Amino acid sequence: MSRASRKLEHLKYAIETGQTGVQGFENVHFVHQALPEVALSQTSIATSIGGLQLSSPIIINAMTGGAYETVKINQHLAALANELNLVMAVGSQMSAIKNKEYRSTYQIVRGNNPKGIIFANLGADATPEQANEAIEMIEADGIQIHINVIQELTMPEGDRDFTGILDRLQAIKESVKIPFIVKEVGFGMSKEVVFQLVKRGIKIIDVGGRGGTNFALIENKRRLDPYPFFNDWGIHTATSILEATTVNKTEIIATGGIQNSLHIAKAIGLGANAVGMSGMILRKLVNEGFKQTLGYVNQLHHEIKLIMTSLGAVELLDLQKKPMVILGETKDWCELRGIP
């Protein structure tokens, strides 16, 4: 199967399959503060990643490009990012590196958002030269490299050799001049992996946890002989943020099943600087249209400010100083894993 057909199948099945919606945030609670001493008008949802100043914590995370049928989606996502001043990551650009005719399916994103912050995206098989080509292709402000072992193993045509990834990540990191992010695609990052990345100088981690778009389910739909044991694999997003915060010097992006303003506030409260959203925004866009999606994100921004006001947080990252309680499976996990 060609890369372009695979990308279309991913879109189709991601929309169809939806998100499991159990990311661990159901076990995480802010403690109500009856005297917040803050006015809504004082609150700011600005944040930063790798020195880039973001006016919103919401990143439209990597999805697509690389097939002509994806142009309209990328065009709309870019227009959304442009209108709302959101960071946007493009989908894996390897298809355009291998075949120059697909470059325009990614460049449309820069075309529709000339001044915005855009992240390039490649897999961990990329070379430093390819990474720099991907950056140049869309004049990227940051680059994500995705690691997706479970997806590859479940994918009929996927990789089977995962040796040398850390060395390649470090080589790419050292060759690029813009913020460098390593991301999972929905199975989460453990503290051991985050520690290994930080030791190699890689500090911006998108934990890409379990509970949202599930690439085991998606790839299993593409298999004649499914691997059901991978369907429930991985570290939930909330838990993965907690795993990552045990390692010093990280900047965390929380992706994986982020659907509403409370998920965003809880992710930030647990230690993330920003959140990534893919499946939810894709489904809104395809099922409800551009205007509805715009309204949805605007509403998220407003609601995050309401939550901050209720807790007495003026700046977004002040949420990290507010008391939180962690219960249930997430608490048990943290105890067993020695996460304070």
Nearer to ligand FNR, 264 or 316 (CB): 264
Residue from 24, 57, 91, 271 in contact with ligand FNR (CB under 6 A): 91
Stretch of 57-65, 77-85, 172-180, 305-313 lying at the interface with ligand FNR (CB under 6 A): 57-65
Contact status: 213 vs ligand FNR (CB under 6 A): yes
CB of 29 to ligand FNR, least distance (A): 22
Stretch of 37-45, 125-133, 181-189, 306-314 lying at the interface with ligand FNR (CB under 6 A): 181-189
CB of 38 to ligand FNR, least distance (A): 29
Count of beta carbons in the 10 Å neighbourhood of residue 182: 27
Contact status: 205 vs ligand FNR (CB under 6 A): no
Residue from 27, 47, 56, 92 in contact with ligand FNR (CB under 6 A): 92
- Strand-pairing partners, residue 47, are 54
Nearer to ligand FNR, 188 or 269 (CB): 188
In order of 34, 282, 297, 311, 313, the CA distances from 41 in angstroms are 18, 31, 19, 14, 12
Residue type, 302: H
Nearer to ligand FNR, 263 or 305 (CB): 263
CB of 37 to ligand FNR, least distance (A): 34
Contact status: 19 vs ligand FNR (CB under 6 A): yes
Query: For tokens 């299993």, what's the residue?
Result: 220
Residue type, 154: T
Nearer to ligand FNR, 123 or 313 (CB): 123
Q: Which of residues 25-54 bind ligand FNR (CB under 6 A)?
A: none
Contact status: 146 vs ligand FNR (CB under 6 A): yes
Q: Which of residues 235-264 bind ligand FNR (CB under 6 A)?
A: 255-258
Contact status: 11 vs ligand FNR (CB under 6 A): yes
How many angstroms separate the CA atoms of 187 and 217, rounded?
12
Cβ pair 141, 178 in contact under 8 A: yes
Nearer to ligand FNR, 66 or 116 (CB): 66
Question: Cα 290 to the chain's mean position, in Å?
Answer: 21
Q: Of the candidates 265, 267, 253, 242, which has an alpha carbon nearest to the alpha carbon of residue 338?
A: 242
What residues contact residue 291 under an 8 Å CB cut-off, 6+ apart?
none
Q: DSSP characters for 140-192?
A: -SEEEEEE-HHHHHHSTT-----TTHHHHHHHHHHH-SS-EEEEESSS---HH
Cβ pair 227, 218 in contact under 8 A: no
Contact status: 278 vs ligand FNR (CB under 6 A): yes
Element containing residue 33 per DSSP (H, E): none
Residue from 183, 191, 263, 301 in contact with ligand FNR (CB under 6 A): 183
In order of 61, 79, 246, 332, the CA distances from 113 in angstroms are 15, 6, 36, 44
Contact status: 280 vs ligand FNR (CB under 6 A): yes
Residue from 169, 282, 316, 319 in contact with ligand FNR (CB under 6 A): 282
Stretch of 42-50, 180-188, 311-319, 327-335 lying at the interface with ligand FNR (CB under 6 A): 180-188
Nearer to ligand FNR, 61 or 113 (CB): 61
Q: Of the candidates 56, 125, 6, 97, which has an alpha carbon nearest to the alpha carbon of residue 281?
A: 56
- 3-class secondary structure, 326: strand
Sign of CA dihedral 95, 99, 100, 101: negative
Residue from 57, 208, 269, 271 in contact with ligand FNR (CB under 6 A): 208
CB of 115 to ligand FNR, least distance (A): 23
Residues forming contacts to ligand FNR in the complex (CB under 6 A) are: 10-11, 14, 19, 61-64, 91-92, 121, 144, 146, 183, 185-186, 208, 212-213, 255-258, 277-280, 282
